[in-house]
């Protein structure tokens, strides 16, 4: 079973939710910057909080103090939330996202916000998802990882940096990943062997490789063996 926790997600995993209990029980939570989403046992999703960018996914941009149903989702198995966007992994192994999209973090080939779920382009056989602040990543069944969205600090891990990328790109050099986690501007992957590699923003040493230099491709976290799970956090600039 693949395990994933994102810097903005309390729990997201590529697995079937528990059996329904009146179809109202929450089986997973995802926490964004100013919004929260819950995956219900029936495979539907409800969100609440700020909605200026459509991050609640209910075809409005009106904030809500109580949960509202995300439009058009009935077979979700996992959820994750970024700063102002959210994504759902479907039972088909595909992914849909909604909300803020100025860096391409919805992955649908545009940089236009969407207040309803849109399909991430070209993704199949996905087993886990994680949302960073302005980027998103997916773990594929083959053990590889693909990311999309902001790439100013190399958070997509494909050897480049620059403007946001609105469709998934393959993270370089990963082949045996069993878990992923995305933070503010960096991401990490846990291998089947229990080692960890990270990439992206590294101004505070968040990549764990003994430097404060950003990495455009995954670098090994120093001295870690037999790791069982990972999580990536945010970033606060102290002045």
Question: Which domains can be identified in the chain, with CATH numbers?
Answer: 3-220 (2.130.10.30)
pLDDT greater than 80 at residue 4:
no
How does pLDDT run across 134-190, given as a tens digit for each residue? 999 999 999 999 999 999 999 999 999 999 999 999 999 999 999 999 999 999 999
Q: Confidence band (pLDDT; 50, 70, 90) for 3?
A: very low
Q: Confidence band (pLDDT; 50, 70, 90) for 9?
A: very low
Phi, psi dihedrals of residue 131, rounded to the nearest 5°: -110, 125
pLDDT greater than 80 at residue 54:
yes
Q: Confidence band (pLDDT; 50, 70, 90) for 126?
A: very high
Those residues with Cβ within 8 angstroms of residue 38's Cβ, 6 or more apart along the chain or in another chain: 26, 28, 29, 30, 45, 46, 47, 67, 79
Q: Confidence band (pLDDT; 50, 70, 90) for 234?
A: confident
Q: Who wins on pLDDT, 27 or 197?
A: 197
Q: In what order do the strands lie in the sheet with 95-99?
A: 76-81, 85-90, 95-99, 114-119
pLDDT at 235: 66
Structure tokens at 225: 């063996």
**CA 36 – CA 47 distance, rounded (Å):** 6
């Amino acid at each position: 079973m693949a395990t994933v926790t994102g810097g903005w997600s309390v729990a997201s995993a590529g697995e079937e939710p528990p059996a329904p209990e009146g179809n109202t029980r929450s089986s997973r939570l995802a926490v964004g910057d100013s919004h929260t989403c819950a995956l219900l046992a029936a495979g539907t999703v409800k969100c609440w909080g700020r909605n200026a960018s459509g991050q609640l996914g209910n075809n409005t941009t009106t904030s809500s103090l109580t949960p509202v149903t995300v439009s058009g989702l009935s077979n979700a198995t996992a959820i994750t939330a970024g700063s102002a966007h959210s994504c759902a992994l479907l039972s088909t192994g595909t992914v849909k996202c909604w909300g803020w999209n100025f860096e391409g973090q919805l992955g649908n080939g545009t940089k236009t916000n969407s207040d309803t779920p849109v399909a991430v382009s070209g993704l199949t056989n996905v087993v886990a998802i994680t949302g960073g602040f302005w980027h998103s990543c997916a773990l594929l069944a083959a053990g590889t990882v693909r990311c999309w969205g902001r790439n100013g600090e190399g958070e997509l891990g494909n050897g480049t940096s620059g403007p946001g990328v609105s469709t998934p790109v393959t993270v370089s050099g990963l082949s045996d990943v069993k878990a992923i986690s995305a933070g503010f501007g960096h991401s990490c992957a846990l291998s089947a062997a229990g080692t960890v590699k990270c990439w992206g923003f590294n101004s505070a040493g968040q990549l764990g490789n003994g430097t404060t230099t950003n990495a455009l491709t995954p670098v090994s976290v120093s001295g870690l063996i037999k790791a069982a799970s990972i999580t990536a956090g945010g970033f606060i600039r102290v002045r």
